[in-house]
Chains A and B, each alone.
Chain A
Amino acid sequence: MEDRTICLRININGIDYREDIPSDITLLDYLRKYRQLMGTKKNCGAGECGTCTVLLDGRAVYSCITLAIQAYGKKVETIESLGDEESLHPIQQAYLDAGALQCGYCTPGMIMTTKELLDNNPYPQDREIREALAGNICRCTGYRQIIEAVKLAARKMSGGKTERDDGHEC
């Protein structure tokens, strides 16, 4: 049987696309080769490092082990959906301010995982941050600054609030 194409309907960063793609292409390769969204990084290809993390209907997934067709009819958010050089997203700014990146290769994945966490849990505790980022590996920073960046981002995104309504400090 010859390799064939399949029609993909997908929303990426708010824009709808409908096009024929090879049926076996991964979401990561589709984003990089077909949509030229190069912010999502390719590394292990085995779902082990987290550099390729994107949000699929709001859930963080590894795009390297997700077929593009698995995103059929779904919304994908990549690092390009956040800020740009002129206007950084609060999470991006927090990573800069906290010194949470060195080589930067893991950073897009870290930031997308952070976005999923803060979208669902605006005031995470340290333990919750560590658990949320467990699937993203950084070989440069040692993680301490990354956890600080997430806490800083949480404060930025909640308008400077540092406590939950119940008085719990984030």
Chain B
Amino acid sequence: MNVNRMESLDSACRFLEENPQAKLIAGGTDLIPRLNQKIESREDLCFLDNLEELRGIKGNDDGHMFIGALTRLVELSKSPFLSNYTALIKAAGKVASPQIRNQATIGGNILQENRCMYFNQAVPWSEINLCYKRGGNKCYQYKNSKECMALFQSDIAPVLIAYGAKALIYSNDNTREIPVSDLYLPAGKKNVGHAEILLGIKLPPFTDHYLSSYVRKTIRGSFDFPLMSCAVFVTEKNEKIVDIAVVLGSAGVMPADIKDISPSFIGKRISDLPQLALGVLDAVAKHVAPFRDTRVNTPVRKDMAKTVFIEAMNEIASQN
């Protein structure tokens, strides 16, 4: 395996085009454990650390906030520029451990590999009969599934989707802009081509009064992937809710943007959210994919979804 430091975006794109097996590496906290555990082939790496234009948080003239893809999670969690983005700061401060947050980037977090005990949780049985993710032809989670069903467990992605953030993706002197929610495809694939590079995230400007919250549940009090998480974003005008977004994390192969419950909240007051939330719990839990790992089963995961949703709504109401 060779590690190649890139000096420019274009040279990185060219390198990726010329090396179809090469992988991008930024902070490395997602990829290198899989290399060390030999569950990822040791292909050439395209190392982006030198690309300063992908770092930092800045406000644009049009009111958008831009977060470079190489911005580290510790910088997100402490940034004064993001003080109004309560859920994002909270989520960034909850990812893994301080050491990981010191190294990991927002780009790597939202494009991280999906997780499953039969794939990347370093358990011996994952090597006996390979699953889809490891080059085999079966999914142990769903016997009849034709593709991988591993969970996507990013803390940051559900929050960005709730905010309506956009992802800027670069390739060959061309930049395309897509909603962060469109980054996620079936089977844990990501909507970023092999020779494309995520430049960063655009957070939209908010003119009306808005509040956001993020709640996650883990087995341990710290340093763990979320078993279930919930991001909520609410916009209020004239003391009435005019927009609401609820996104579950770790609920399936991609974040679950729960749009069908919005009518229950539009036109209501923020102080009523905790009570109104109780009326849509089953609709929220419906978005949790059946999945088991070594810790919790599907019924518990559905109950957890209800709990994180209620707690996130309570947090919004208490901020108001």
Contact surface of A with B, Cβ cutoff 8 Å: 1, 3-4, 6, 23-24, 26, 45-48, 50, 53, 56, 59-62, 64-67, 69-70, 72, 113, 116, 130-132, 134-135
Contacts and interface: CB of A to CB of B under 8 A. Distances in A.
B29 A70 contact: no
Contact of A135 (B4, B44, B47, B223): B223
B36 A65 contact: yes
Interface in B71-92: 74
A45 B29 CA distance: 11
A65 B222 contact: no
Interface string B13-35: 00000000000010011001100
Contacts of B29: 47, 62, 65
B32 A65 contact: yes
Nearest to A64: B36
A3 B32 contact: no
Most buried by B among A60, A65, A131: A65
Interface residues of B, number: 28
Interface string B211-237: 000000000001100000000000000
Given A24-B1, A26-B32, A67-B3, A131 B222 contact: yes
Contacts of B33: 45-48, 65
A134 B5 contact: no
Contacts of A45: 33, 36-37
B99 A61 contact: yes
Interface of B: 1-5, 25, 28-29, 32-33, 36-37, 42, 44-45, 47, 49, 74, 96-100, 102-103, 122, 222-223
Given A46-B33, A135-B98, 19 more contacts: A1-B44, A23-B3, A24-B1, A47-B97, A48-B33, A50-B97, A56-B102, A59-B102, A61-B102, A61-B103, A65-B29, A65-B32, A70-B28, A113-B99, A116-B98, A130-B222, A132-B98, A134-B222, A135-B99
Contacts of A4: 2
A69 B222 contact: no
B98 A67 contact: no
A26 B45 CA distance: 13
Contacts of B5: 6, 69, 72
A62 B101 CA distance: 11
Contacts of B2: 1, 3-4, 23-24
Contacts of B74: 59
B20 to A, nearest CB: 13
A120 to B, nearest CB: 11
Q: List the 4 shortest-distance A-B pairs measured between CB atoms, nearest first.
A: A135-B97, A134-B222, A46-B33, A45-B36
B36 to A, nearest CB: 4
Contacts of A130: 222
A66 B223 CA distance: 18
A24 B198 CA distance: 23
Given A24-B1, A46-B37, A46-B122, A66 B98 contact: no
B295 to A, nearest CB: 15
Contacts of B103: 56, 59, 61-62, 65-66
Contact of A50 (B25, B28, B45, B99): B99
23 contacts: A3-B1, A3-B2, A6-B3, A24-B3, A24-B42, A45-B33, A45-B37, A47-B33, A47-B96, A50-B97, A50-B99, A53-B99, A56-B102, A59-B102, A66-B28, A66-B32, A66-B103, A69-B5, A70-B47, A72-B49, A134-B98, A135-B96, A135-B97
Contacts of A113: 98-99
A62 B49 contact: no
Contacts of B47: 67, 69-70
